[in-house]
Amino acid sequence: MDATTLIGLTAAFCTTAAFIPQVIQILRTGNVDGISLLMYSIFTCGVAMWLTYGIIVDDLPMLLANLITLVLALAVLGLTIYKRSQQRRKPGI
């Protein structure tokens, strides 16, 4: 493995791993108050496009990072939509 690929894989790991605490926090607390649906929607679209680009140019670090990030971003987006829909269904306190 050359240095460029190693740098790419390390960068991919760091930026992808950054999403794990957010997913864990939502799963543990159920709190999605600070999550912007618009931001995560735009971000998820961008990650899907980067994944597509990584596939086209056959770039392993880009492909792996964006595949995993897409799954995590979709998890945050899906959990946020689900939790907010659950909150709306609860009778007022």
The whole-number pLDDT of residue 93 equals: 56
Question: What is the chain's pLDDT, residue by residue, as a tens digit (93 residues)?
Answer: 889 888 888 888 888 898 899 989 999 998 999 999 999 999 999 999 999 999 999 988 889 889 999 999 999 999 999 999 998 887 765
| DSSP notation for the chain | --HHHHHHHHHHHHHHHTTHHHHHHHHHH---TT--HHHHHHHHHHHHHHHHHHHHHT-HHHHHHHHHHHHHHHHHHHHHHHHHHHHHHSPP-
pTM recorded for the entire structure: 0.80
- How many whole angstroms separate alpha carbon 73 and alpha carbon 39? 11
Q: Going from the N-terminus, what domains does the chain have, and what CATH number goes with each?
A: 3-89 (1.20.1280.290)
